[in-house]
Structure 1
Amino acid sequence: MDWDKLQYFLMVARHGTLARAGQALHVDATTVSRRVSALEAALEQTLFERAPGGFILTAAGRALVPHAEAMAAAAARIHSVREGGSALSGQLRVSVSEGFGGSFIAPRLGGFTTAHPELEIDLVASSGFLNPSRREADMAVLLARPRKGPLITRKLSDYSLGLYAPADRLDWQAAVAEAPLSRAGIPVIGYVPDILYAPELDYLGEIEPGLRAGVRSSSILAQRRMIAGGAGVGVLPCFLAAGDPALVRVRPDQSIGRSFWLALHRDVAPQPRIRAFIDWLDAEVQKSRGLFVPA
């Protein structure tokens, strides 16, 4: 099979559009379209459904992806031997929550990229997740275990959340300790209810039944900054708030428990770059266990 055409197919499968695939390959979208069409003609199969939002793999396309990935890995190994470089190369796309990706993975990622300089890494850290079942990402760290799809899943880590107040508002800290928040007259910060992207984030009722946020954001990083800046009190993951001198945990005996789940498409699980990243992430989480579930 012609690897030249296959790599164009693989880039469209990974990126979803001709334009993004072309950028990754450093060619124009017309060239990508022509090579993919030529591959479909050679195989006498339709590999993508052309939709307004991009290219969606057909059943034939999904079946071809693991073979294309294997050829990509072989090509990378050949290139590595020729160049005397790292055995790990190619693209790795990881979907994570904004808080975990931005505050935990991002500051530590330098060690991994230094060890594997030929890898291209997309850390998609946002309010929402890409779907590894549809090959939108190689892997995802989710807030709940997926129940369907061709996925390999396992728990990455439990984590705790607590109620935090601004460090310079001693009056608020005392009031929260002595009275229900609903009667303390203190603004409560939380998510925007109608655009909550995961039910696991609906946790204010676990602090006090019926508790509602009056100051809201879809971003947990924005909520952290609002609490630190004195806009109110709110719930934060302990790993996100740890070490911030502008924040103080109040009601330390009151804790909310959640979990991170690792999910990846079973076709990509054997790939060396996938295994290397998972091993690195496991090690980083284990080293920081006290951040996720404080004593």
Structure 2
Amino acid sequence: MQNSTEQSGLPLDWDDVRYFLALARQRSLSGAARVLHVEHSTVARRVQGLETRLGVRLFDRLPRSWPLTAEGEALLAHAGRMEEEALAFGRAALGASTLEGTVRLSVPPVFGSHFLVPRLAALRPHWQGIVLDLTGEARAAELHRGEADLAVRLSRPQQPGLAARKLGEMGYGLYGGHGWVGLPQDAWVFLGYGESLREVPQQRWLERLAGERPFVMHANDLATLHQGCRGGLGLAVLPHFLARDDPALFGMMPPDAAPRRDIWLAVHPDVRRSPRVRAVAEALAKAVQEASGSLI
């Protein structure tokens, strides 16, 4: 691709730079398309348009990947700084916004669906005019990149620059279907988290408790463990808010035997100034505080 003074003088479209960054980070059209929530053909078209506008070939087209060319590598840091400025602009705009609008909330999936959502109706008067965009996800949303405005997490956020507030605690217990009641403990078998979640406190506690006794299923999804436990497949460590009032389950040990986990609310300091973000944050804190009995 030949350099063109006329082309390179055209103003850049930030969206094209955003596509460039996604493809540079993912190194494939399909990966960038997943991150951007578009078709892979859209990624290719936008990147091709950027290359034409700049008069520079940014990527090598290989069968399985699109690595950056030397010219693309040279522009990557500049594009990253553009992204940071664009994100900062967006956060500042949100901080200056009104009480009406959308607030994006990232929460652990089952905590969102089984604890938080059933309590939203009672909290609605605290955030009239606000639309809550709730995403259930096990990973930690990147608040610096604007993936969410608020994030509920089960450990204190470690990313620098985030503001964090402890909302309360979540207790866990060892639960099983009624068919396990009365069986000797050496007959117990267990359901646990998969490899990606093996280091969470409740899984470490369960592995110590199990000792040499077998695990018959691992899953990376709390809802799957819950259903396996309800079906009698084995014993699982489950949060009390999910299992304590479930008629299909029975607490197999004292309710305070398993560990507790802290519930944290994280927000970027720029976004925290937004009236609607503050309103939702206060409503979440109220929900956790008022339901602390069901959590622990």
The share of aligned pairs that are identical, in percent, is 26
Residues 78-137 of structure 1: per-residue CA shift (max 9 Å, x gap): xxxxxxxxx3113x222221221121122223455675355251x221332322233322
Q: 1:279 aligns with which of 278, 282, 288?
A: 282
C-alpha RMSD over aligned residues: 3.9
SS at structure 2 position matched to 1:291:
helix
User: Is the CA contact 2:229–2:236 (under 8 Å) kept in the aligned structure 1?
Assistant: yes
For normalisation by structure 1, the TM-score amounts to 0.67
Distance in structure 1 (CA, Å) of the matches to 2:33 and 2:130: 23
> How has the CA–CA distance of structure 1 residues 113 and 160 changed in structure 2, closer, same or farther, with 3 Å as cutoff?
same
Q: 1:237 aligns with which of 236, 239, 252?
A: 239
Residues 121-180 of structure 1: per-residue CA shift (max 9 Å, x gap): 1x221332322233322222122112232201122211110011113x2xx2222xxx5x
Deviation at 1:221, TM superposition (A): 0.9
Q: 1:207 aligns with which of 206, 209, 214?
A: 209
- 1:264 is aligned to 267
Q: 1:133 aligns with which of 130, 144, 151?
A: 144
Matched to 2:84, the amino acid is R
Distance in structure 1 (CA, Å) of the matches to 2:283 and 2:239: 22
- 2:26 is aligned to none
Distance in structure 1 (CA, Å) of the matches to 2:162 and 2:115: 24
User: Is the CA contact 1:101–1:125 (under 8 Å) kept in the aligned structure 2?
Assistant: yes
Deviation at 1:67, TM superposition (A): 3.0
Matched to 2:169, the amino acid is D
Distance in structure 2 (CA, Å) of the matches to 1:197 and 1:141: 20
- 1:95 is aligned to 106
> How has the CA–CA distance of structure 1 residues 260 and 61 changed in structure 2, closer, same or farther, with 3 Å as cutoff?
same
In the alignment, structure 1 residue 109 sits paired with structure 2 residue 110: no
> How has the CA–CA distance of structure 1 residues 71 and 142 changed in structure 2, closer, same or farther, with 3 Å as cutoff?
closer
> How has the CA–CA distance of structure 1 residues 249 and 209 changed in structure 2, closer, same or farther, with 3 Å as cutoff?
same
Matched to 1:65, the amino acid is L
Distance in structure 2 (CA, Å) of the matches to 1:68 and 1:60: 12
Q: 1:58 aligns with which of 80, 89, 99?
A: 80
Question: Larger C-alpha radius of gyration, 1 or 2?
Answer: 2
> How has the CA–CA distance of structure 1 residues 148 and 132 changed in structure 2, closer, same or farther, with 3 Å as cutoff?
same
> How has the CA–CA distance of structure 1 residues 138 and 18 changed in structure 2, closer, same or farther, with 3 Å as cutoff?
farther
Distance in structure 1 (CA, Å) of the matches to 2:197 and 2:87: 33
Distance in structure 2 (CA, Å) of the matches to 1:131 and 1:212: 37
- 2:61 is aligned to none
Matched to 1:190, the amino acid is G
Deviation at 1:227, TM superposition (A): 0.9
- 2:196 is aligned to 195
Q: 1:68 aligns with which of 63, 76, 90?
A: 90
State which drifts further: 260-269 or 229-238. Answer: 260-269
- 1:83 is aligned to none
- 2:182 is aligned to 174
Q: How does 1:128-167 map to 2 (within 5 A)?
A: 128-167=139-178
For normalisation by structure 2, the TM-score amounts to 0.67
User: Is the CA contact 1:187–1:215 (under 8 Å) kept in the aligned structure 2?
Assistant: no
Deviating 4+ runs (over 6 angstroms): 15-23
Distance in structure 2 (CA, Å) of the matches to 1:256 and 1:288: 19
- 1:255 is aligned to 258
Query: Which consecutive unaligned segments of at least 5 residues does structure 2 have?
Result: 1-12, 24-31, 55-64, 67-75
Deviation at 1:214, TM superposition (A): 1.7
Distance in structure 2 (CA, Å) of the matches to 1:257 and 1:20: 34
SS at structure 2 position matched to 1:239:
helix
User: Is the CA contact 1:186–1:232 (under 8 Å) kept in the aligned structure 2?
Assistant: yes
User: Is the CA contact 2:150–2:265 (under 8 Å) kept in the aligned structure 1?
Assistant: yes
Matched to 2:201, the amino acid is E
Aligned residues: 245
Distance in structure 2 (CA, Å) of the matches to 1:148 and 1:212: 37
Deviation at 1:59, TM superposition (A): 2.7
Q: How does 1:118-129 map to 2 (within 5 A)?
A: 118-119=130-131, 121=133, 123-129=134-140
